[in-house]
Amino acid sequence: MEKHCDYQAARKQLISFLQSEGFRVHPEEVYCPAVKHCWVDVAAVKGQDYWAFEYKSRSDSIKRGLAQCRSYSNAFNYVVLVANRQRTTSSPYFGNFKRDGFGVWSHTGTRFNPLVKPQRRSVRGRSRAVIERQFKRLILDCDACGNRKISEWFAPHDEI
Chain segment 134-159, per-residue pLDDT in tens: 998 776 555 555 544 444 444 454 44
Query: Does residue 76 register a pLDDT over 90?
Result: yes
Task: Single out the residue of 6, 118, 111, 109 nearest to residue 57, CA to CA.
Answer: 6
CA dihedral 90, 96, 98, 100 (to 10 degrees): -160
Distance CA 101, CA 135 (A): 24
**Domain boundaries in the chain?**
5-147
Q: Which residue has the higher pLDDT, 117 or 6?
A: 117
As a three-state string, the secondary structure of 3-24 is CCHHHHHHHHHHHHHHHHCCCE
pLDDT of residue 152: 47
Q: Which long-range contacts (CB under 8 A, 24 or more apart) does 12-20 make?
A: 13/107, 13/110, 13/112, 14/41, 14/42, 14/53, 14/55, 14/82, 14/107, 14/112, 15/42, 17/112, 18/42, 18/44, 18/53
> Binning pLDDT at 50, 70 and 90, where does residue 36 land?
confident
Q: How many residues does the chain have?
A: 160
Model confidence pTM above 0.85: no
Fold of 5-147: Trna Endonuclease; Chain: A, domain 1 (3.40.1350)
